[in-house]
């Protein structure tokens, strides 16, 4: 059974700092990995989808990396801003690719 873990559970950083969020998964046979953002009281927004054949995917200040062999992905946020404050979740497809198994999330707070 695929298990997805995110560390740390919560993170508080000053504005402008570069930061890394971590995601680990137990079964390396994945098609892809997605990073989502969830704002309080809102649904999830997909930020990046990184294919199993890729090692990195970038969107603006966000960069996601994937190392299947070690079962790890990182989400790098450059020059963090207060608007980046949210919970970030990673997810991998399971059950033949049709289901997503989510990590427990990292709650990020970027302070002025």
The site for another protein (CB under 8 A) is made up of: 31-32, 34, 36, 41-46, 49, 51, 89, 91, 93, 95, 97-100, 102-105
Residue 82 — φ and ψ, nearest 5°? -55, -30
**Shortest separation between residue 35's beta carbon and another protein, angstroms:** 10
**Shortest separation between residue 33's beta carbon and another protein, angstroms:** 11
**Shortest separation between residue 64's beta carbon and another protein, angstroms:** 13
All residues at 6 or more sequence positions from 103 whose CB lies less than 8 Å from its CB, including other chains: 4, 5, 6, 23, 89, 90, 91
DSSP per-residue letters across 1-37: ---EEEE-SEEEEETT--EEEEEEES----SEEEEEE
Residue closer to another protein by CB (options 61, 99) is 99
Residue closer to another protein by CB (options 71, 105) is 105
The answer to whether residues 64 and 57 touch, using CB atoms and an 8 Å cutoff, is yes
Residue closer to another protein by CB (options 59, 81) is 59
Residue closer to another protein by CB (options 75, 80) is 75
DSSP state of 55: S
**Shortest separation between residue 49's beta carbon and another protein, angstroms:** 5
DSSP-based three-state secondary structure for 48: strand
């Amino acid at each position: 059974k695929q298990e997805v873990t995110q560390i740390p559970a919560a993170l508080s950083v000053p504005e402008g700092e570069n930061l890394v969020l971590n995601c680990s998964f137990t079964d390396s046979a994945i098609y892809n990995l997605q990073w989502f953002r969830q704002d309080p009281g809102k649904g999830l927004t997909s930020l990046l989808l990184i294919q199993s054949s890729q090692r990195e995917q970038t969107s603006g200040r966000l960069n996601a990396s994937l190392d299947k062999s070690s079962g790890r992905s990182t989400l790098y946020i450059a020059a963090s801003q207060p608007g980046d404050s949210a919970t970030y979740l990673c997810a991998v497809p399971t059950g033949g690719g049709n289901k997503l198994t989510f990590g427990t999330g990292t709650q990020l707070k970027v302070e002025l």
